[in-house]
Structure 1
Amino acid sequence: MESQRVDTKDPCDFFSTVILALMPLFLASAVLSWKLAKMIGKRSKRRNKNTKKILQKLND
């Protein structure tokens, strides 16, 4: 019985298949990271604004 090993017969084809199979996961990870960075940025701006307001009230 002869085994069919794709990775030993044509390594270039094997790696391109692996990359194509993992590409949707890479793209999803990139999109979710970008969204998380935007959310953290908005939260940081909002906290800085609230901190400035509180400090102004304390100084008055």
Structure 2
Amino acid sequence: MLVFPHGEWLGQLHPEHAPKILEEILNAPRKPLQFTGKRICQEHWRGRLGLDKQEQLNLLL
């Protein structure tokens, strides 16, 4: 799943995850790619558009 405008990639999703994911997306700050805060749906997070490898790793840690 790709979440806009956040640019978050989510993976390993199943229908039962939908309510929690939608809640997190709707409550997340609505800042696009340059947003460097908390990852959305951390357990399903696979990356963010517009970041290089090191920036991705920094968000992961």
- Give the TM interval when normalised to the shorter protein: under 0.3
Tell which structure's C-alpha radius of gyration is larger. Answer: 1
TM-score relative to the length of structure 1: 0.26
- The structure with the greater share of residues assigned to strand is 2
User: Which of structures 1 and 2 has the larger relative contact order (alpha carbons within 8 angstroms, sep 6+)?
Assistant: 2
- The structure with the greater share of residues assigned to helix is 1
